[in-house]
Amino acid sequence: MLRFFWLAAGLILSLPSIANNTWQPQADIASAFLLSVNGKSVWQSNADKRLPPASLTKLVAALVLVENPKLNDWVTISNKAALQGGTKLHLKPRQKFQAAYLLGAMLVRSANDACMALAEWDAGSEAAFLTKMNAKVMALNLKNTHFSNPCGFDGENHYSTANDLMAIARATNNQPKIKVWTDIQNFTIDSKSSKSYSFATSNLLLGRVDGIDGLKTGFTQKAGKCLIAHGIRNKKEVYLVMLNAPDRWWDADELLNRAFDDHAVK
């Protein structure tokens, strides 16, 4: 009986440690990931490893673009913009769209033709816009991020880290002209000639994970499936960055719901 008492007592004493956030995600769910709750890092792996960020790049492009005071101006689609590969709206050369709505297409659908059109409109050329993007990176004091194109294609010297992307996510979330687009699931933009383009968000967490309101997805062959997610639930603000995550949606769903609902995760 005495032996049973001590065994039972030992089990009871061990229970708080079991509840005290002993669960940890598998490190191989992504080449790098980082999740924070209310500004505090909770789970991470390889958070300072330089990796291609795919279209998460577009968040920095957006930070540059929202500084332009002429977002209501019309932007003419160039041949170069129309010929961009990857995800796009299939915009036509010489069509005109308001800059603010192209920004929406770039963030909601991750449209590369909208991205390149905005880069050329804002700075006069892709190269000049890229200079502005890398200057923004320096202004944010990000030591492990550099871009070689504005839209997120794989390229030499095009890289970031989960830690740097977390800082980028926080910066973009503080910009109302960016934030307004990040939780839109379906949208339509019209050209000046009234040609309409309808599209759905590339972020499959929206409307499926309670509390999630953004931020950005990405994919290239080299970068794999990438994601930055943000949401607020149960008085917790959660950010999640995942780079090269093969089961991005399933793993993000589990990480986010555990972060929101587990009382031991603070």
Q: Nearest 5°: CA angle at 204, between 202 and 210?
A: 135
**For residues 147 and 145, what is the distance between their CA atoms, to the nearest angstrom?**
7
Amino acid of residue 210: D
How far out from the chain centre does Cα 222 lie?
17
Q: Catalytic residue among 31, 36, 45, 55, which?
A: 55
Q: To which residue do tokens 């109302």 refer?
A: 176
Active-site residue, 266 included: no
Q: To which residue do tokens 């890289």 refer?
A: 159
Active-site residue, 58 included: yes
In three-state secondary structure terms, 96 is: strand
> What b/e sequence results for 143-179 when a residue is b if at least 16 CB atoms lie within 10 Å of its CB, and e otherwise?
ebbbbebbbbbeeeebbbbbbbbbbbbbbbbeeebbb
Amino acid of residue 63: L
Active-site residue, 143 included: no
Beta bridge partners of 171: none
Q: Catalytic residue among 36, 45, 58, 202, which?
A: 58
Amino acid of residue 258: R
Q: How many CB atoms lie within 10 A of CB 123?
A: 19
Q: Catalytic residue among 110, 160, 191, 202, which?
A: 110
Residue ranges in the chain assigned as alpha helix (H): 2-19, 58-65, 79-82, 99-108, 112-123, 126-139, 162-173, 176-179, 248-261
Which residues are designated catalytic? Answer: 55, 58, 110
